[in-house]
Structure formats: C-alpha cells, structure tokens
Amino acid sequence: MEIRNLGKSGLRVSAIGLGCNNFGGRLALDATKAVIHKALDLGITLFDTADTYGERGGSETQMGQILGDARKRIVLATKFGMPMDDAGVKVGGSRRYIMQEVEDSLKRLRTDWIDLYQMHQTDPRTPIEESLRALDDLVRQGKVRYIGCSNFPAWQMAEAHWTARAHDLNGFVSCQDEYSLVHRKPESELMPAARRYGLGLLPYFPLASGLLTGKYRRNAALPAGTRLANTQRLADRVLTERNWQIAEQLGDFAEAAGHSMVDLAFSWLLAQDPVASVIAGATRPEQLEQNVRAGTWKLSVEELEKINMITKL
C-alpha cells in the first residue's frame, strides 16, 4: 500500500482510504467487522467517518466497538457540522457545539484522540475565526491531531487559511469534496486553492455512486439494491446523457488497456495533484481488495491526455 503525506502536513495516509458511511446503517455489526478487519489486513490506514453516518452516530459507535488496539494503527478521521438532530440545535461550527460534539464522537469511537477532525460543511451563522479557535484549542489539548474541511467552496477555504495564519492558529490540512472522472468541477477553483495553501484533497464519490464500476447499462434496469436504484434523486443527478457517454467511452478505454473501470477511476484520481487518498466505501471485504488493486495502475502521459479528451465532453 502506498503511503502519502496529507497535503503539506506531516500526517501520512494510505493512498486508498476506507469510507465508513455504510457502517451502522446499511451494515450490521458483524458485516462492519469483516470490512474493517479486511481493510487492516490490506494496509489501509485512513478510516474516514462522520458523526452523522449510520443514522447519526451508528458508524462511530460500531467502529468504537470493533477497533480495539487496532485504533493505534490507523488514521482515524471523522467530521462534525451536519445536523445531529431535527430541531436545528446540534449542528454547525460554533465553539459551544464543537466542544460538545467532539466529546460525543470520542465517546462513540472509544478513543482519546481523533487524527483528522473535519468540518463537514460551512456554517453561515458562525464566523470562521470562532470555529478555528475552538479547533485550535482541541489540537493544543491533544484531543485532535489535525483539522480539515469538507464541502467548502474555494473562497471559504482560502478565507479559513488566511484567518488561521493571521491569528497564529492551526489551519486546515485537507479538504474533502466530490471528485471523479465525471465530476471535475473542483479543478476550476478548489484544487488550485488547495495546492496554493498546501491542503491535501480527499475525493469522495470516486466511482460516481457506482456509474464508474461498469455495473450499470444504459436503457437497462438498474441492479436491485444498488445506491442508484434506491435513491432516485441521486440517479437523476448521475445518470445524465453526458455521463453515460463518458462512462461508455471510459469503459472501452479501460478494456483496451486490460483494466477495469474501477482501476481507471482510482488510478486517475491518484495521478491528480493534490489528491492524497481516495475515499471509497465498501459493504463487502472483496470490494476492498478490488479497490486496493485499482490504485496500482500508473497512467502514462499519453493515457492521461486521452482520458482528458474523453471526460471533457
């Protein structure tokens, strides 16, 4: 397993990370245990979860029950900021909420520290300085090692960087955003800003909710039980005419090169600066084996140029 620095920080993460959003929701405890143990066996060190995953707390709770001594071997990343109740109280980036929510996450995870604590979304009600000061205190207390952001537009990521710098606070070392061969929007502003300010990018939805696995076919019924079959809103966003054309051409390209679509999707992401690790979920141990193999294809300059021609339809 390749290990990379997360941005310009000293935090080292596996090139393939484990997205833990299925734990505590789609997966029962035994199934989660099988996935976690396989990830450890394969050398995956970055485990990415959030307080909201698993129907608000389920993912962190299951991970806390399973990890045990293995917790010391991994980079444990979680997030805060999205609603943890329906009343609009447990949400956001205020000092009051951050200080409470980190304690709740630590308790669910059964650990004394979080390696990467990420603000899951921006909070329009709270100045970024207030959020950063609270997070800086957590770093100084040893409860958090590094901090990151997720779903921040480039200008707010830049604002956070300069706010931290101006006030001598710990700043974000990473950003997590949707990025894939059919969703290249981050290349216009987010990724240049991340490179400029030294943040590592952690792409989520690397397989475009399954479109880039090759298991979906145009004008055919969606496989039962899949994410796109179960979530119409997501299917409407992903299964566009443009995306179908790109996916079909990428499938032909990968097959001609003797690789799978998953190989192509992961290896292409890992070739992009400043991607540090590709976050991918799994519901079965064998999916992790496929993900790890997928990241080993070293694309040539010519191959990257061909992919660019296909994906910029």
As a whole number, the mean pLDDT across the chain is: 94
C-alpha 108/C-alpha 58 separation (Å) is 9
C-alpha 313/C-alpha 310 separation (Å) is 6
Q: Can you name the residues that pair with 79 across neighbouring β-strands?
A: 118
- For residue 228, pLDDT over 80 is answered with no
- For residue 225, pLDDT over 80 is answered with no
C-alpha 274/C-alpha 143 separation (Å) is 27
Residue 43 one-letter amino acid: G
pLDDT tens-digit readout, 259-303: 999 999 999 999 999 999 999 999 999 999 999 999 899 999 999
The CA dihedral of 163, 47, 122, 92, to the nearest 10 degrees, is -110
Give me the percent of the chain exceeding a pLDDT of 90: 86
pLDDT tens-digit readout, 19-65: 999 999 889 999 999 999 999 999 999 999 999 999 999 999 999 99
pLDDT (0 to 100) of residue 239: 84
Q: Is the peptide bond before 203 cis (omega within 30 degrees of 0)?
A: no
Contact 47, 77 (CB under 8 A): yes
The CA dihedral of 266, 271, 274, 276, to the nearest 10 degrees, is 50
As a whole number, mean pLDDT of residues 244-253 equals 93
* Annotation says 53 is catalytic: yes
C-alpha 192/C-alpha 273 separation (Å) is 9
Contact 186, 201 (CB under 8 A): yes
C-alpha 95/C-alpha 131 separation (Å) is 6
Give the range with max mean pLDDT: 85-89, 114-118, 227-231, 292-296. 114-118
C-alpha 277/C-alpha 13 separation (Å) is 7
**Pairing assessment for the beta strands 144-150 and 3-5 based on DSSP bridges:** unpaired
pLDDT (0 to 100) of residue 268: 97
Of 85, 97, 25, 99, the residue nearest 61 (C-alpha): 25
pLDDT (0 to 100) of residue 188: 96
φ/ψ of residue 82, rounded to 5: -85, 160
As a whole number, mean pLDDT of residues 200-224 equals 87
The full set of domains in the chain, from first to last, is: 3-208+265-298 (3.20.20.100)
Give the rounded distance of the alpha carbon of 42 from its chain centre.
19
Q: Where on the phi/psi map is residue 292: left (φ > 0), alpha (ψ -120 to 50), or beta? A: alpha
Per DSSP, the three-state class of 126 is coil
Comparing 228 with 29, the larger pLDDT belongs to: 29
pLDDT tens-digit readout, 175-197: 999 999 999 999 999 999 999 99
Alpha helices in the chain (DSSP H): 29-42, 53-67, 95-109, 128-141, 154-166, 190-197, 227-230, 232-238, 241-256, 261-270, 285-294, 301-311
**Burial class of residue 29 (count of CB atoms within 10 Å of its CB; 0-12, 13-18, 19+):** middle
Cβ atoms within 10 A of the Cβ of 257, count?
Answer: 15
Contact 215, 226 (CB under 8 A): yes
State the pLDDT confidence band at 313, using cuts at 50, 70 and 90.
low
Residue 120 gets which letter from DSSP? -
Active-site option among 53, 117, 179, 197: 53
pLDDT tens-digit readout, 135-172: 999 999 999 999 999 999 999 999 999 999 999 999 99
pLDDT (0 to 100) of residue 218: 83
For residue 142, give Cα distances in angstroms to 12, 34, 45, 116, 276.
18, 31, 20, 12, 24
C-alpha 105/C-alpha 114 separation (Å) is 9
